[in-house]
Chain A
Amino acid sequence: MGQVIVELKNITKFFGASKALDEINLQIEKEKFITFLGPSGCGKTTLLRIIAGFYEPDAGEITINNRRVENVPPYDRNTAMVFQEYALFPHMTVYQNVAYGLEVKNKNKTEIDAKVEEVLKLMQLSGMEKRYPNEMSGGQQQRVAVARALVMDPHALLLDEPLSNLDAQLRESVRVELRLIQKKLGLTAIYVTHDQQEALSMSDMIVVMNKGVIHQFGTPKEIYFCPRTRFVADFIGSTNLVDARVVKEDIPVVSYHGIHLQVKGNYEALVDQDVVVSIRPECIKINKVSKESNFNLPIKILHSMFLGEKVRYHVEDSYGKEWRVDSFDSGEEILEGSAYLNIQSEKSHLIQEQ
């Protein structure tokens, strides 16, 4: 494990009577790209602002770069932030905006010039030094906002949904660019988004949150394929949640109406325990004929949608449960009527009920 740069211990935050954050514990490693992911209102911004120092937690400890900072004001934390609405200073030029933080620190003029120039070049803003924010496009403003934060050489770069004001195409390219810059400079970035695609595509680690609680902290792959809770499974991608009962413990096997399925579990499940299994639609094969396999379930196809690279089926088994199944052999004929589902055992996961 690398060096921890930001550490949160038992962070709790109230707004009036409502709890915005509940006992958040998190260790963020240096030079990693971390994303806080969760639906709107789950407390991502609040957590980011607590790191930046705009809110003080009601309980808990924050350590940034080995220094306890609960009592350190925002201007002394060196956690430069890119705001959702950019918050550029409208009365200052691009150059002045970017130089502001260095000037406040009383750096000398030549050093400021050199640093600003370097960052502007990195953000492809050279030649725009004299423009005012209102003379620039949204994408350019966003670059200025990033440049202004980068130039501070922060312990952690904080970004609060920085792409939400850009149009879809631009968003794609900025994502890649941001990630490349972060890697190149070896920055620690904490990124807030409610967009799972964005989180999955950019992050080293993702923190999935809901209602002020961390549900899972893991790599994008872990989050996607081994969701720990029903919420994570549901929120990221689409999935089939299946109620089942454990029949074997060491390599967990569950039974769904007598049909056995071997699964992966990230916690100890006991025999006869009721559990929920998450199975991604693309991990299920749909066949016209019954096949010998781990899990073989007769179903009726209700509806199918041709989506280009795949076909999405909505099917129903004889117990009344609806399943979603993705078939990527979209060249093949689209099935109708009755069929069978086959599930690869290593792609099914036990999740914790919450």
Chain B
Amino acid sequence: MAEPVILEKQGLGFEFKQLIKEPPLVIALVVLFVLGFIFILYPLFKIIIIPQSSDWLRFFNEPQFLRAFQNTMFSSLLSTTTAVVAGFIYAYSMNYTDIPGKKFFRTVVLFPMMSPSVVTGLAFIILFGRRGFITYQVLGLKTDLYGWVGLWIVQSLAFFPLAYMTISAVLKSISPNLELAAQNLGANGFRLFRTVTFKLALPGVLSAFLLVAINAFADFGNPMLVGGNYRVLATEAYLQVTGAWDMPIAAVLSVMLVIPTLGVFLLQKYYLDNKSYVTVTGKPVSGLKRITVSPVTKWCLFAACSCIALLILSIFITILCVAVTKVFGVDYTFTLENFMEVFFRSDALINSWIVSFITAIGTTLLGLIIAFVVSRKKFPGRNLMDFGALLPLSLPGTFIGLALILAFNEGPFAITGSLAIIIVGLVLRQMPVGYRNAISGFKQIDKSIEEASANLGANSIVTFRRIVIPMLKNACSTCFVYSFMKSMNTLSTVIFLVSPQWMLASVSILNLADHGYYGKASATGIGMMVSILITFAIVRLIFKKKINLFEL
């Protein structure tokens, strides 16, 4: 008689059986999958099926569309390269030298992070536009820098902080022991840099490059402001919608925009992530000075950093000056009129605040819940959920916005024009960051703590509420602040979603600048930065913890 063969229990059926034991968890999962289906899958499906084959053909036959594609590629690769090179120099100076004023340099980088990226474009128009302060007032030129040159400068500046932050994190995580060992073997100066530091940092830098590139491809505000006739995919799609109400071609253009970003995303997720040399030990080696440059190099780096910092500062000084004068360039009388208008006579800032607050809460909670089930539970479709939660990272804001209005214009979920659709768009856009943040939080918590909770009689929902959330409080506050800030500042995601009832501050900057109301536009920009700072302060009071933006 043959013994019955015993096999390991595994596979879908088994996972399903395990789930059924815990009905509240099943309900949570069903809700998550339904949400994912409605707000990710369905809009994606819509944006792909709406264009007819003739619309796809138009993309290849009408030169303006192909040109928009080429422009996008050219300008974003150019600005990405510039931003990454500048970011590397800046990050290297901060981590490998003892140049004076590091604290100042580090603070300056935070300004662009905390303001909408169109502020850079706005300052640029004010200084170098057709009636620009420098081009027209000072130099008396009749020309302007609209077009790819302007876009290059503005985007390089706008994406520099992102490049710097990412590369700095990479450099920090290189174990100084390796460099010490190399120094010990006689490698020095440029040779050390070339053979060790740069080699080790390269995969990380490449990652940073791709990250910045995704953002540059998708940038909408700056091309809109300073691109002039130089159109990129995002602006072309927008103009097709607003000018000609031509949804199908806008959809085609948006899909074309997704192709490179999605490619980069997949490359990063499935290839680069596994190839990084950087060993994350979790414990930064302290007490080690890694000063590896000669005095000459040091002062050259200092000069470079100073230039970058001054450029950034000049943006904000310009904005501030414009905001507090009657008509900058003509009438320099001091006035608070612009601020009165922005703070008290317009809803945009308040709306932005409300929208961002709700988004930040939603993003934090959703990221936490998804991270909890993905990292701690076994269920069918787990990898799909992981993918779905990260996917929006690769979707440009304009693409998300367009997909949402196409999907929710009519039918059972007609929410176009409402507050809800703006929040859906923003939560979608920000969720990957919250999710990744929470995942890394879970990696730091020993699984046995949650097991202890189950062991003492708590089901998954109770464990989540009473153990997981309190333990991840810090990760949550960081995530909250970050998504709040991003939601305040984003333009591309909301450009298709705002309505006259729900006008947002970032869009209003664009409109005001378009109509030449530079004073009010600048005041709005400053108002946004102020409200972000106030919110930071409140969160800090509540959580009694310093918020470290460098963590993200």
Contacts and interface: CB of A to CB of B under 8 A. Distances in A.
Co-complex (A, B): yes
Interface of A: 12, 14-17, 52-54, 56, 58-59, 71-76, 78-81, 83-85, 87-91, 100-101, 104-105, 148-149, 152
Nearest to A96: B466
B6 A59 contact: yes
B14 to A, nearest CB: 8
Contacts of B453: 89, 100
Q: Could you say which of A12, A16, A54, A74 has the most chain B C-beta atoms within 10 Å of its C-beta?
A: A74
| 8 A-B pairs with least C-beta separation | A101-B456, A14-B8, A87-B452, A87-B448, A74-B454, A59-B6, A104-B458, A91-B470
A84 B473 CA distance: 25
B459 A73 contact: yes
A54 B21 CA distance: 13
A16 B452 CA distance: 25
A89 B455 contact: no
A76 B22 CA distance: 11
B30 interface: no
A60 to B, nearest CB: 9
B9 A90 contact: no
A148 B455 CA distance: 11
A41 to B, nearest CB: 18
| Majority SS at the chain B contact face | helix
Nearest to B20: A71
A74 B448 contact: no
Given A89-B467, A91-B471, A14 B7 contact: yes
B451 A87 contact: yes
24 contacts: A17-B8, A73-B21, A73-B22, A74-B454, A75-B454, A75-B456, A78-B457, A81-B455, A83-B452, A85-B446, A85-B448, A88-B452, A89-B471, A90-B449, A100-B466, A101-B456, A101-B457, A101-B458, A104-B457, A104-B458, A104-B462, A148-B456, A152-B456, A152-B457
A58 B455 contact: no
B18 interface: yes
Interface string B446-482: 1011011111111100100011001101000000000
A72 B18 CA distance: 10
Contacts of A89: 449, 452-453, 467, 471
A225 to B, nearest CB: 35
A75 B448 contact: no
B547 to A, nearest CB: 19
Contacts of B21: 71-73
A74 B455 contact: yes
B22 A58 contact: no
B22 to A, nearest CB: 6
Nearest to B4: A59
Interface string B6-19: 11110000000010
Given A14-B7, A16-B8, A89-B467, A83 B459 contact: no
Q: Could you say which of A17, A90, A105, A148 has the most chain B C-beta atoms within 10 Å of its C-beta?
A: A90
A54 B458 CA distance: 13
A79 B8 contact: no
B67 to A, nearest CB: 55
Contact of B454 (A17, A58, A73, A90): A73
| Majority SS at the chain A contact face | loop
A80 B455 contact: yes
Nearest to B462: A104
Interface of B: 6-9, 18, 21-22, 446, 448-449, 451-459, 462, 466-467, 470-471, 473
Contacts of B6: 12, 14, 58-59
Contacts of B18: 56
B457 A75 contact: yes
B444 to A, nearest CB: 11
Contact of A83 (B22, B451, B457, B473): B451
Given A88-B449, A104-B457, 8 more contacts: A58-B6, A73-B459, A81-B451, A87-B449, A89-B449, A100-B453, A100-B456, A101-B456
A303 to B, nearest CB: 45
Nearest to A76: B457
B471 A75 contact: no
A83 B456 CA distance: 12
B467 A74 contact: no
B442 to A, nearest CB: 15
B78 to A, nearest CB: 49
Contacts of A88: 449, 452
B446 A58 contact: no
Nearest to A12: B6
Contacts of A12: 6
Nearest to A14: B8
B455 A52 contact: yes
Given A73-B21, A83-B451, A90 B456 contact: no
A321 B122 CA distance: 93
A58 B473 CA distance: 38
A268 to B, nearest CB: 25
Contacts of B473: 91
Given A75-B459, A100-B453, A101-B456, A87 B9 contact: no
B544 to A, nearest CB: 13
A152 B471 CA distance: 23
Nearest to B467: A89
B451 A80 contact: no
Nearest to A57: B9
Nearest to B5: A59
A90 B458 contact: no
Nearest to B463: A75
Contacts of A148: 452, 456
Contacts of B7: 14, 58
Contacts of B462: 104
Q: Could you say which of B457, B466, B473 has the most chain A C-beta atoms within 10 Å of its C-beta?
A: B457
B456 to A, nearest CB: 3
B456 A79 contact: no
Q: Could you say which of A17, A76, A100 has the most chain B C-beta atoms within 10 Å of its C-beta?
A: A100
A91 B472 CA distance: 10
Given A16-B8, A71-B21, A90 B455 contact: no
B456 A80 contact: yes
Nearest to A17: B8
A73 B460 CA distance: 10
Nearest to A74: B454
B2 to A, nearest CB: 15
Contacts of B449: 87-90
A148 B457 CA distance: 12
A54 B451 contact: yes
A83 B458 contact: no
Nearest to A10: B6
A132 to B, nearest CB: 12
A100 B451 CA distance: 13
Nearest to A22: B6
B458 A75 contact: yes
Contacts of B9: 56, 58
Given A58-B6, A90-B471, A75 B452 contact: no
A167 B453 CA distance: 27
A101 B462 CA distance: 11
